[in-house]
C-alpha cells in the first residue's frame, strides 16, 4: 500500500494541486486572506492574484513563490514546504516579515445537500474565534432552529444565558473575504405558542419631556399567546382596552450575521456591516439576505426569532420566541458589498447600519446607490432620477447599539432601467 | 321706521351680543387670543374662560370686565367701550398693562359653500402678517390652483418668483389658537404635462466620501413629460439607460400650512409645527390633514404641487408642477396638537418635524403616542404594546431646513382597541 | 439765487452723480441689491459690476442702462428717470421683467462719531422689515443699553414683553450684501445688581433616563445678586450647599445680529448665519464680531445681556440682566462670510450655527478652514496640518432653536504661518 | 516540617480563610463576579454581600453556602469543595443552575512597588480574554513604554501590526466590577524625534459640500520632527507657508483602557465606557484617570502616544509617536462610574463617549452631574446652578468609531460648594 500512497504524494499532486488555494498571511499577528488559482506544471508554479503575477517552484517539498506587479516589482516572497496538502512557510510582504499557509479549497460535492442541524450550544457573540459547528457548501441548505432572545427553546427549556443566543456558526466552503454570502430563507416558522415583549417605548424614540412624564403600570403584562392557526398573537393577560387587540403573526429572524472583521467579538445584540442583530421585520420566509464575507467560510450565525415586530423594535423586544427555519446559502464571488442587502419578490432593500439615524440614512442610500451602480452601471444623475422618484425608507431598528435604516426600491421600478 | 331701528339698536343687542367673542390682548406688543362665551343680560355680562369666571357690566357703551380664578383672585381687569359691534379698551393682566379688543365671531351661514378662488398673487412666506385672500367657514370648500415651486402656472406663464409660491391665505372663521384645523383634499389633479426635478441625491443622504466621488453629467436633463392619461411620467430627454423608465403619477401637495406662531415670517420652503413645506408624498387626493392653529382664522396657505415624489425628496425637487385642487376645511375646537397629523382610508399618520432625524423620529413617535392617549386613553404600557407591534415610519423629507419623519399605524390595528 | 441752484442741478450733477450707487431690483416681489460704481460724463454713463460692463445714457432725466457680459451678451436692460437724486424705472433681467431703483450712497462725514442712543422701543424679531432706529457710518460708535431677556431695564422697570427684546436696529451706511459687518465691543458693563437664571439642566444635555429621574425642588431660588465691585455673583437666597458658591462676573451679550435674509422675521431667541441669539460667552468687552450682511445697511440688533454664562447656556437662561454697552462698527467690503466670526486678543473664533451638534461642528470647522483659505491661502493639506494640531472647540449654546459650536485657533499658532 | 505544614493546612486555615473572597459564578456560560467577606469559625461560615446574608458550613473540604435576602428568601445555594485555597462547585441562582469558584484575594505587600515592565508583545484588542502581562497591587507603579499607533518603537523598529498596539494588560489585584480604577500618570515623555500625522480634515468635521471640493496635494508631507529640547515639533518637509509653523509638544496617551464588559474583543482603535482609544489631549503627565472596572483585576492597557494633538484629532492621526511613561494605580471600591473621569490640578473632567455628538454631550453632562451628586450630594437644581454657570466642554475626538466629548469644571468653582 505504501507505494500507492507514495505515488499519490509524489506524482499525482502535480495535477491535484492545480486549482484554487486559500492563502493566509500573518504579519505581526494580523491575518490577510487570498484566493489564488495556481497551476503546477513539473516544478513550475504559476498563477494570478488580481493584477499580480504569481510564479515559483516546487522542488520535492520545497516551495518558492513570488508575486509581482505588472512592472516587475516584487510584492511578496515566500519560501516553505508542502506537506499533507498544505503549504506553509515564511517570507516578506514589501519589507515586512510574514508567515504563511495555503491549502486547496474543499471540493464541492456533486449534489446540493440539506443538513439537519441540531444545535448543542448557543453563542452570545459574533466572532471569528468561535469554531464552526457545521461545514457546508454553496447551494446547500440547513434545517435547524434557534432559541428565543432569552435562551429558551420550543419546549420552554432554558438552554442558554440571554442576549440573543445564536445557532451556528456555519462555515461555507469557498467563501472568502470580498465575496458576498447569499442566505435564502425558505422557511421561518413558529414552534411554540408563547412569546414575550417589552411594554415601554424606548427613550430614544420619544421627546425627553414626554418620556419623563410616562409612568410604568405596575404588573403590566407583556407575555403573548401565539395563535398560529389563526395567524395572530394576543397579549396573554390583556388590559380591558387591549383585550381584543390582535397582532398578525409575521415570523422573522432578528439576528443573521457572519463573523465580523478581524478577531472582534461582538455581543449577539450588536449589529454592523456583518449583519448581526439587525431586527428588520422584512427578514421573513421567502426573503434573501446578502452579507459581506470577512473570513474564510464566512461563519454564519442565526437567532433571535420574532413572531411579529413593528418598525424600530420600539420596546426593545419584539414578540420574542424560538423559531424553526431552513436556509439555503450561496456565494457570489468578488462582490464586496459594504452593508447587508435584502431581496424579496417585490423589492431590493439596502441596509444602512450606523451610529446615528443621519448616518444610517446616508449608509442606506449609499448602499442602494452602489447597487444601482454595480447592477445597472448608472451614473450619479441617473441614480438621482431613479432614487428621487422611487426610493422608500424603513426604520428597521432604533433600540440596539447601532441604528438600522433600510432604503428600498420596487423591482417593478427597475424593470425598465437598462442594464 | 326709526322705532324699529331704535328697537334693534337698543334692545336686540342684548341678545345679539350674547355669544362667543374673540378677545385679543396686547401686552408690550405681544398678542394673546381667547375665545370667550359671554352672556349679556341687562347691564350684566357673565361668562367663562376655561376655569376662569368672567364678570362685568355694559352701561351705555362703557364696558368693565374682570376675569377671576376659582379662589376669587383677579387675573385681568378691562375697561373700554363697545362700538360698531367691537369692544376695545385697556386694562391689566396680573400687574402688567394691556390693551384689548373683542368682537363677535362671524355667524356661520346655513349652507356649506364651495368657493372658486382665482389667485392673483402668490406668497413666498408663511406669516400671520399677510392679509387673508378669502374668508371661509368650517365646512366650506375652496376650489383653486397653485403655481409650481418656481412660480409657473398651468399655461407655462411665470407668475411669481420661485421658492414654493403659495396660494391663499384662507381665513377660517371661528378657528382659534388651541383648535385643530382639518383640511380634506377632495381633489388634487395635474393641470399641465410638464414638470421639473433635481438630478442629484442630496449630500445629506449620502456618505460624505461617496458624495465627494459623484460627478454631475454635463447637460443632464431633468425635465419631465407627464402622460396624464397613462398615469406615468417620463424624463423628457432620457439617457439610453432611462429611456423606458416610468414613474407612476401620484399628485400631491408639498406645501400646506397655517400662519406660524406670533409674527414670524418663514420662507415658503420652511416647515414646522404649522405644517408648511412638509413634502410628504401621502398628502394626496383623499387624505385629510390636521394642523394646529396659532392665529384667529388659522390662515391656510397651499402650494408646491408634485406629480410624484420618492421618500425624502432626495434631489431637492420632486416632479415639480402646477396643480388644481379642491379642499374642504373644518375646525376641531380645543385639540391643541403639537405637530401635523394626516389620515387616509388605511392609516393614521403623525408628523415629526424637527432639526434632525433623531429628533424627528422622537417627535413623530410622541405625536402618535399622544394621539393614542387622546383618542383611546391608553396608558404608557398600552401605548408600548400597540406601537411596539404596529408602528411604521416614513422618511417624508430630508432636504428642507428641517427634516420630516412620519409615524403611522393602520386603522385596522386600532379597530380592536377599546376607546 | 435760482441760477446757482439751476447750475447745481444741471451742471454739477454730472460730477456729483459719479460715484457708487445702490441698485435695488425687484422681480416678482423678490429684491436683489447691487453696489455699482457709475461714471457720468456728458450724456454717457459707464461702470463695472463685478465682471459685467455697465453702459448707458442720461438725457435730461431719462436714463437707459445695460449690463453686459464680457462676451457682449446682455444681462439687464433698464430704462427710467432720474429725479431727486434717485433713478427709478423698469426693465428686464435675462427675459424676466424687473423694476428698479438706484440712489447714491450717503456721504461719509469727515469725523467718526459716537452716538448716544436711548432706546424707546425694543424688538422681539430680527427682521429687515423693522425700520432703522439710527443711521450710522462705518467707524462710528454707539453708546447705548439693552433690557434683560425678560424686558426689564436697569431701574427694574418692565419695558417690553420677554423673549430677548432688542435695541436697534442700527443702519450702517454703505454696508451691502456680500460685505462683512465688524462690531467691536469697546465696553460691556453691568448696570444693576440683580439677575435671574434657570435652575435645571436642559433635557437636551442629559441622558433621557437620567433627566427623567431628576426632580425640581419646589421653591428653589434662581435669582442672583451681582456684586459688581467684588466682580462675583451669588444666588440671592442660596441653599446651604451653595451659600458660599460664587460665580465670577463676565458680562457678555447673548444677542448680536443683523437682519436675516429676505423678509424673514425670526424671533429674538433665534440664531443663524445672521448671528442673533448666539449666547456665546466670549462676546465680551474687547472682542470683535464679524457678521455677514444680507440687506443694505445691515440692520444691527443688540440685546440679551448675561452677567456670566457657562458653556452651552445649559439652564436655558444665563445670569440674565440689563446691560450698558458701547460698540464701534466697520464694514469690510466683499467678504461674504457664511457664519459669524469673533476675534479677541488671543484667538480667532469661527461659529458653526446649525440644526444639530454634528452639523454645527461641521459648520464651525468649515468656517475656520475658509478663514485660513481666505487669509492665508492655505491648501487642503496645509489646513489639515494647522487645524489637526491647533484647533479648539467650544460648545457655545445647546438650548436655543439651533445649536452653536465655535472652532478657534490661537493667534500665536498662526503667527508663523505664511500669508 | 510536615507537621507545620499539616498544622497550617488543617488548623490555621480557619483563620487564614477568613477575609475577602472573589466569587465567580457561571450560568449558561455567562460569568458574574462578587467580592464577599467571609468569616470561618469552626465549621461555620458567615458573611455579607450587599444586603444579602451569606451563611454556610465547611466540613472537612465540603462547603455549603447560601445567600438570603433580608426576608429570608434564598437567592443562591452552593455546594462544593475547598482545595488548594480555592472553593469550587455548583448550585443554583434563583432556579437557574450555576457553577462557581471562589478564592482569597492576593495579600497586598507591605511596600508599594515600582515595576519596570519591558513589553514583549503588543495587543490590538481591548479584551478580558488576553492574559495579564503583569500583576500589580493598588499603590504600585509601572514604568514602561509603548510603540506608536503603527507599531514602531523608540528605535524605529516595527514591533507590531498597526492599529494602536497596546502595552499590558496589567492585572490590578483586588480590583473588582463596581470599583473605579485610578491611573495617575506621573511621567509621559517622548523617546524619539519623529512622529507622523494625517494631513486632511476628516469628512465628519466639514460640510459635505466643502469637503467634496477639497483636493489632496500629491506628495504632501505629514512626517514631523520633534525638537524635544525646544519643546516644539515641525513638519519635517514643510511647504513654504508652513516652514516656520511650530506645534508646542504636549505628550499624551491616546489609548488607556480596561478590559471591556463580558468577553468582548474591541479593536484598539475603539473606545467606550472602558476608556480605550479616547484620544483626549488632556491625558498628559500629571493627570489622573478614573475608569470603571468590569473584570477582576481590571486589566489595564496603555498605548497610542501623541506628541501633540488638537481637539477632535481632526486628521485621524495626531502626532503619532512612541512614548515612555510611568503610572501609579489605585482602586476605589464601590464607585460604579459609568464613563471615564479625569482630574488635573485645575479641573475635574467627565467623559461622554457615545455614538454621536448629541449623545456624547448628554453622556458627559450626565457624568459630571453624577459626580456632583456623588461627591457633593447636590440636588437637581443645585446641579443646574453649578453647571449652568461653570461647565466647559471639550470636543476630545471626532474621528474614531465613537465620539468623545468632555465636560469639565474648575476645582476653584467647586471649592466653595458644601460637601
Q: Which residues of chain B have pLDDT under 50?
A: 1-14
Residues of chain A in contact with residue B230, where contact means CB-CB under 8 angstroms, are none
CA atoms within 13 A on the CB side of B349: 25
Q: Binning pLDDT at 50, 70 and 90, where does residue D419 land?
A: confident
In whole angstroms, give the CA distance from residue C266 to residue B265.
Answer: 7
What is the pLDDT, as a whole number, of residue B10? 42
pLDDT in tens, D70-90: 999 999 999 999 998 899 999
Mutation for B interface: D208, D354, D357, most B CBs within 10 A: D208
Ranges of H-type helices in D112-248: 208-213
Chain B segment 357-376 residues within 8 A of A by beta carbon are 357-358, 361-363, 365-366, 369-370, 376
pLDDT in tens, D174-228: 999 999 999 999 999 999 999 999 999 999 999 999 999 999 999 999 999 999 9
The C-alpha torsion from A275 through A277 and A278 to A280, rounded to 10°, is 140
* Residue of C341, C349, C342, C361 lying closest to C404 (CA atoms): C361
**Binary contact (C381, D245; C-beta < 8 A):** no
Closest-CA residue of B relative to A418 is: B241
Report residue C375 CA to chain centroid gap.
Answer: 21
What is the pLDDT, as a whole number, of residue A85? 87
Looking at the complex, does the CB of residue D312 fall below 8 Å from at least one CB of chain C?
A: yes
**Binary contact (B208, D204; C-beta < 8 A):** yes
pLDDT in tens, B292-319: 999 999 999 999 999 999 999 999 999 9
User: Closest approach of chain D CAs to the CA of B203, in angstroms?
Assistant: 6
If one counts every other C-beta atom within 10 angstroms of the C-beta of residue B29, the result is 14
Residue A12 pLDDT > 50: no
**CB nearest to C365's CB, from D205, D370, D380:** D205
Cβ-proximal residues to B281 (8 Å cutoff; 6+ apart), any chain:
B250, B252, B306, B308, B309, B310, B311, B318, B396
Residues of chain D in contact with residue B211, where contact means CB-CB under 8 angstroms, are 208, 212
Chains touching chain A at 3 or more Cβ pairs under 8 angstroms?
B, C, D
What is the pLDDT, as a whole number, of residue C123? 97
pTM: 0.94
**CB nearest to B206's CB, from A197, A362, A390:** A362
Looking at the complex, does the CB of residue D204 fall below 8 Å from at least one CB of chain B?
A: yes
Cβ-proximal residues to C187 (8 Å cutoff; 6+ apart), any chain:
C143, C285, C324, C325, C326
Q: What cell does C330 get?
A: 466697520
What is the pLDDT, as a whole number, of residue A9? 41
**Binary contact (C158, B28; C-beta < 8 A):** yes
In this prediction the ipTM stands at 0.93
Residue A2 pLDDT > 50: no
In whole angstroms, give the CA distance from residue C50 to residue C30.
Answer: 21
What is the pLDDT, as a whole number, of residue A282? 98
Mean pLDDT, residues C347-371 taken together = 98
**Binary contact (C266, B264; C-beta < 8 A):** yes
Lowest mean pLDDT among A155-159, B248-252, C28-32, D366-370: C28-32
What is the pLDDT, as a whole number, of residue D1? 37
Instruction: Please state, rounded to an integer, the average pLDDT across all residues of chain D.
Output: 94
Chains touching chain B at 3 or more Cβ pairs under 8 angstroms?
A, C, D
* Residue of D374, D365, D397, D281 lying closest to C310 (CA atoms): D365
What is the pLDDT, as a whole number, of residue A5? 38
**CB nearest to C381's CB, from D199, D370, D384:** D199
Q: Binning pLDDT at 50, 70 and 90, where does residue D15 land?
A: low
User: Closest approach of chain A CAs to the CA of B308, in angstroms?
Assistant: 7
In whole angstroms, give the CA distance from residue D228 to residue D235.
Answer: 14
**Binary contact (A382, B242; C-beta < 8 A):** yes
φ and ψ of C207, to 5 deg: -55, 140
Residue A355 pLDDT > 70: yes
Contact in structure between C378 and C245 (CB atoms under 8 Å): no
Residue D94 pLDDT > 90: no
What is the pLDDT, as a whole number, of residue D229? 96
**CB nearest to B216's CB, from A315, A358, A381:** A381
**CB nearest to D208's CB, from B211, B356, B358:** B211
* Residue of B309, B368, B325 lying closest to B343 (CA atoms): B368
In whole angstroms, give the CA distance from residue A120 to residue A146.
Answer: 11
In whole angstroms, give the CA distance from residue C218 to residue C215.
Answer: 9
Percent of chain A's residues with pLDDT above 90:
92
In whole angstroms, give the CA distance from residue C77 to residue C66.
Answer: 5
Mean pLDDT, residues A334-338 taken together = 95
Residues of chain C in contact with residue D239, where contact means CB-CB under 8 angstroms, are 379, 382
What is the pLDDT, as a whole number, of residue A16? 64
Cβ-proximal residues to B40 (8 Å cutoff; 6+ apart), any chain:
B13, B14, B15, B17, B18, B58
Looking at the complex, does the CB of residue C212 fall below 8 Å from at least one CB of chain D?
A: no
pLDDT in tens, D126-178: 999 999 999 999 999 999 999 999 999 999 999 999 999 999 999 999 999 99
Residues of chain B in contact with residue C356, where contact means CB-CB under 8 angstroms, are 355-356, 359
* Residue of C43, C52, C51, C34 lying closest to C102 (CA atoms): C34
Q: Binning pLDDT at 50, 70 and 90, where does residue C11 land?
A: very low
Mean pLDDT, residues A291-297 taken together = 98
**CB nearest to C212's CB, from A204, A211, A356:** A211
Secondary structure letter of residue C205 according to DSSP: G
pLDDT in tens, D105-130: 999 999 999 999 999 999 999 999 99
In whole angstroms, give the CA distance from residue B134 to residue B168.
Answer: 7
Looking at the complex, does the CB of residue B157 fall below 8 Å from at least one CB of chain C?
A: no
**CB nearest to C211's CB, from A204, A208, A358:** A208
Q: Residue C131: is it exposed, middle or buried by C-beta count within 10 angstroms (0-12/13-18/19+)?
A: exposed
pLDDT in tens, C277-331: 999 999 999 999 999 999 999 999 999 999 999 999 999 999 999 999 999 999 9
User: Closest approach of chain D CAs to the CA of A242, in angstroms?
Assistant: 32
Residues of chain C in contact with residue B267, where contact means CB-CB under 8 angstroms, are 262, 264
Q: What cell does A321 get?
A: 420566541
**Binary contact (A208, C209; C-beta < 8 A):** no
Residues of chain B in contact with residue D204, where contact means CB-CB under 8 angstroms, are 208
Looking at the complex, does the CB of residue A218 fall below 8 Å from at least one CB of chain B?
A: no
Looking at the complex, does the CB of residue A15 fall below 8 Å from at least one CB of chain B?
A: no
Residue A3 pLDDT > 50: no
**CB nearest to C262's CB, from B30, B267, B402:** B267
**Binary contact (B245, A215; C-beta < 8 A):** no
Lowest mean pLDDT among B353-362, D46-55, D335-344: D46-55
Residues of chain D in contact with residue A356, where contact means CB-CB under 8 angstroms, are 355-356, 359
Amino acid at each position: 500500500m505504501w507505494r500507492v500512497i507514495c505515488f499519490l504524494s509524489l506524482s499525482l499532486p502535480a495535477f491535484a494541486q492545480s486549482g484554487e488555494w486559500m492563502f493566509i498571511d500573518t504579519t505581526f499577528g494580523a491575518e490577510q486572506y487570498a484566493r489564488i488559482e495556481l497551476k503546477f506544471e513539473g516544478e513550475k508554479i504559476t498563477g494570478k492574484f488580481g493584477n499580480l503575477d504569481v510564479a515559483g517552484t516546487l522542488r520535492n517539498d520545497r516551495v518558492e513563490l513570488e508575486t509581482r506587479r505588472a512592472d516587475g516589482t516584487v510584492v511578496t516572497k515566500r519560501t516553505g514546504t508542502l506537506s499533507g496538502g498544505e503549504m506553509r512557510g515564511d517570507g516578506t510582504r514589501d519589507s515586512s516579515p510574514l508567515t504563511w499557509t495555503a491549502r486547496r479549497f474543499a471540493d464541492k460535492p456533486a449534489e446540493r445537500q440539506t443538513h439537519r442541524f441540531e444545535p448543542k450550544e448557543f453563542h452570545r457573540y459574533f466572532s471569528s474565534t468561535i469554531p464552526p459547528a457545521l461545514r457546508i457548501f454553496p447551494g446547500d441548505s440547513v434545517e435547524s432552529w434557534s432559541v428565543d432572545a432569552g435562551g429558551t427553546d420550543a419546549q420552554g427549556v432554558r438552554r442558554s444565558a440571554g442576549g440573543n443566543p445564536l445557532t451556528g456558526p456555519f462555515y461555507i466552503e469557498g467563501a472568502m473575504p470580498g465575496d458576498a454570502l447569499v442566505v435564502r430563507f425558505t422557511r421561518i416558522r413558529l414552534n411554540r405558542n408563547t412569546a414575550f415583549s417589552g411594554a415601554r417605548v424606548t427613550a430614544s424614540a420619544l421627546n425627553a419631556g414626554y418620556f419623563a412624564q410616562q409612568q410604568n403600570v405596575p404588573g403590566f403584562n407583556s407575555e403573548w399567546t401565539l395563535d398560529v392557526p389563526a395567524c395572530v398573537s394576543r397579549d396573554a393577560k390583556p388590559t380591558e382596552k387591549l383585550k381584543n387587540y390582535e397582532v398578525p403573526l409575521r415570523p422573522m429572524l432578528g439576528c443573521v450575521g457572519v463573523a465580523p472583521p478581524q478577531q472582534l467579538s461582538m455581543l449577539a445584540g450588536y449589529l454592523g456591516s456583518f449583519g448581526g442583530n439587525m431586527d428588520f421585520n422584512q427578514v421573513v420566509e421567502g426573503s434573501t439576505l446578502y452579507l459581506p464575507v470577512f473570513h474564510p467560510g464566512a461563519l454564519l450565525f442565526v437567532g433571535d426569532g420574532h413572531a411579529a415586530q413593528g418598525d424600530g423594535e420600539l420596546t426593545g423586544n419584539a414578540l420574542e420566541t424560538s423559531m424553526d427555519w431552513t436556509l439555503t446559502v450561496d456565494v457570489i464571488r468578488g462582490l464586496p458589498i459594504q452593508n447587508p442587502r435584502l431581496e424579496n419578490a417585490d423589492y431590493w432593500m439596502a441596509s444602512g447600519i450606523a451610529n446615528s439615524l443621519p448616518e444610517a440614512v446616508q449608509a442606506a442610500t449609499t448602499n442602494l446607490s452602489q447597487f444601482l451602480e454595480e447592477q445597472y452601471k448608472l451614473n450619479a444623475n441617473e441614480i438621482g432620477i431613479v432614487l428621487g422618484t422611487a426610493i422608500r425608507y424603513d426604520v428597521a431598528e432604533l433600540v440596539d447599539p447601532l441604528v438600522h435604516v433600510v432604503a428600498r426600491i420596487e423591482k417593478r421600478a427597475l424593470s425598465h432601467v437598462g442594464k
